[in-house]
Structures are given as C-alpha cells and as structure tokens.
C-alpha cells in the first residue's frame, strides 16, 4: 500500500508540475523501462540479433490516454499485416479510456496474459505469422504495478504524452537515441494520438538516411483521397463494441457495403488511413493513395482477417503445449 501511495504521488506531481513534458525526463523514463524494468530480458543486443532473422518489423501504436475512446490501431495493424507487412504490436489494457489494445484481443479469445516473452518471440519469428502482439505487462513488470494506480488516477500521465504537438519532435529524437532509424510520430486533429479523419495531422518523420527530423502535414482528403469525418463517428463504448466493429470492418463478404451507415464508413476510412501510412512507412506502398488501395484489397481478400485469426490460433496452440 505504501508503495502505491508513493507511486501515485510521484505520477501526480510529475503531471501537475509539467515535468511529464520535459524531454530529458521522458528519455530517462524510456531508458529505465528498456533497462532495469525489462522483464522479458530483451536487451538491445538481443533485439538487433533477432532482427537478422526477420524481415522488416513495423508497429503502429498510440500512447493511449488522449481522452478519446476510438477504434484502436489494432484493426489498422491487421489490415497492414494482411497486405504483407510483418507487424508486431505493443500495447496494454485500457487505463484512461473505454477499450485498450489488449482488451480487444483478450475479448477475441487470444490468451495474451498467458503468453511468456519467449513464446511471443516464437510467434514473431514464425514466417506464417504476420501479426503478433507484445502485452506490455508481460514484458515490463512496472506496467503491471502501475496499471491499477494509473486507472485510479483517471488522467493522462507521463506514459500518455504522444498527442502533444510541441513534444512530437522530442519523441523522434528519443527514438533516434534508442537506435531506431526509420520512424514516424503523429499528432492528429484535436489531440488524437493516431492519424485523424476529422482534420489535419502533424507528422514528424525520422529520416533513415541522415537521421534528420522532418515535419509535414497529412490531410484525409488531400493526402489520402478520402473524406472528413467527425471524431464522434469513431467512438467505441467498450471492448465488446470494439470487437463488433473489428468483425464488421474485416468482413470481406460485405465488401465494405455499408450503405448510408456513416459511422461505419467513418471507421473504415479511419482504419484505411492509418493502415496506408504504415504501408508507406514499411515501404510496401509508394504513396498514401496506393496504400489505401492495398489496405482495401487486404480486407476484400480476407487476408486482414486471416492475420489476426492466425495469431489467435498459434497463440492458443503455444499456450496449450506449454
């Protein structure tokens, strides 16, 4: 109990004083989590060795805590995986919103809380698995300890500071310091921690060739050739609602024939835009509009659904054999 009180006080004071927006503190926190609190023992040397065994691995993830209960990036990740990318997502259960990444997958029947780090590594290395998931509480015990505290606090902490425009270049610099060479950081319209369909999104690109950071603007219409949608049309209430939406969006049999259902059309466009960006980042699409077409084909062909079903089946097999 005493430790919980101390941690709660620390997170609160960091937020109230604005230190959670300080670049050095953010970088130090990241370094500590990757070091002393890394329960999976995936140090940087091992990660670099693993990379030699795999094709390019991508991730698409928000920090959560942006105040919006939207369809998660998990759907976009599966669409990108269905289009041929190797996607390894990292995420947690919801702490300050209705539904988190892990909540959705657990509701789907994937045993995230029973997969060990080594078992996850086996799944990631499997050439038949294009989508996999790293449950943060499994790899970093600090998140398991902090989870109940963060949920009780009910406001964004230092762990939820992606959707702040003046910090996004800082995050690019932190990623660069951690050894990443090709990364994007986004801040969507109204403080969204993903690419927005309701307005422009600021994009900071960490360039692989020279390590510089470039700031651009993405627009749903001009960049992707889609429409604007109010953010309210993207809201999901809970994990079951998110799962229903995921199931509907990945149902290739309806060929996205949503008629006049503007909420489903908005959610589809949101998924397509974020999947398109990941496909461009992963060099599977030459531009955003081609990315949109590849994402649509991933859904229509059924490959997007197969990506998540394959991960579920292999996860259950690995757990049952342990």
| pLDDT computed for residue 44 by the predictor | 46
Q: Going by DSSP bridges, is the β-strand pair 183-187/131-135 parallel, antiparallel, or unpaired?
A: unpaired
Closest C-alpha to 60, from 30, 82, 24, 91:
91
CATH number, domain with residue 258: 3.40.1030.10
Let me know if 253 is exposed, middle or buried by CB neighbors in 10 A (0-12, 13-18, 19+).
exposed
The H or E element spanning position 122 is helix 117-125
| pLDDT computed for residue 11 by the predictor | 73
For residue 30, being part of any structural domain is answered with no
For residue 102, being part of any structural domain is answered with yes
User: What is the number of structural domains in the chain?
Assistant: 1
For residue 7, being part of any structural domain is answered with no
For residue 32, being part of any structural domain is answered with no
User: Which domain range does residue 258 map to?
Assistant: 38-320
For residue 233, being part of any structural domain is answered with yes
| pLDDT computed for residue 49 by the predictor | 54
For residue 193, being part of any structural domain is answered with yes
Q: Look at the alpha carbons of 279, 252, 226, 162 in this order and tell me if their dihedral is positive or negative.
A: negative
Tens digit of pLDDT per residue, the chain (322 long)? 666 667 677 777 777 776 666 666 666 766 665 555 454 555 444 555 555 555 578 888 776 554 454 566 888 999 999 999 999 998 877 654 555 678 888 989 999 989 998 899 899 989 999 999 988 888 777 766 777 777 777 777 766 655 455 667 777 877 887 777 788 998 888 778 889 999 999 999 998 888 889 999 999 999 999 999 998 888 877 777 778 888 888 886 655 567 778 888 999 999 999 999 999 999 999 999 999 999 999 999 999 999 999 999 999 999 999 8
| pLDDT computed for residue 26 by the predictor | 67
| pLDDT computed for residue 163 by the predictor | 47
| pLDDT computed for residue 260 by the predictor | 78
For residue 157, being part of any structural domain is answered with yes
Phi, psi of 187 (to 5 degrees): -135, 110
For residue 5, being part of any structural domain is answered with no
């Amino acid at each position: 109990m005493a430790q919980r009180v101390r941690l709660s006080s620390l997170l609160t004071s960091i937020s109230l004083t604005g230190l959670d927006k300080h670049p050095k503190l953010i970088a130090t926190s990241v370094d500590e989590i990757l070091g002393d609190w890394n329960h999976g023992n995936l140090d940087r040397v091992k990660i670099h060795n693993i990379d030699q065994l795999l094709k390019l691995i991508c991730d698409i993830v928000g920090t959560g805590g942006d105040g919006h209960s939207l369809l998660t990036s998990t759907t976009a990740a599966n669409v990108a995986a269905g289009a041929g990318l190797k996607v390894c997502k990292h995420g947690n259960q919801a702490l300050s919103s209705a539904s988190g990444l892990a909540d959705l997958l657990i509701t789907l029947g994937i045993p995230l809380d029973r997969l060990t780090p080594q078992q996850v590594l086996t799944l990631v290395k499997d050439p038949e698995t294009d989508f996999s998931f790293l449950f943060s509480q499994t790899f970093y015990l600090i998140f398991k300890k902090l989870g109940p505290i963060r949920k009780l606090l009910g406001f964004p902490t230092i762990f939820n500071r992606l959707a702040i425009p003046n910090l996004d270049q800082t995050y690019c610099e932190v990623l660069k310091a951690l050894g990443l060479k090709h990364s994007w950081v986004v801040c969507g319209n109204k403080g969204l921690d993903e690419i927005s369909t309701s307005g422009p999104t600021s994009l900071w690109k960490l360039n692989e060739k020279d390590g510089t950071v470039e700031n651009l603007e993405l627009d749903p219409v001009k960049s992707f050739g889609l429409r604007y949608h109010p953010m309210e049309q993207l809201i999901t209430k809970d994990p079951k609602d998110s799962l229903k939406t995921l199931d509907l969006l990945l149902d290739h049999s309806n060929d996205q024939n949503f008629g006049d259902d503007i909420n489903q059309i908005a959610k589809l466009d949101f998924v397509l835009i974020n999947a398109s960006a990941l496909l461009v980042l992963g060099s599977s699409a030459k531009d955003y509009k081609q990315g949109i077409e590849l994402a649509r084909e991933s859904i229509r062909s059924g490959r997007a659904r197969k990506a998540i079903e394959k991960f579920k089946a292999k996860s259950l097999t690995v757990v049952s054999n342990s």
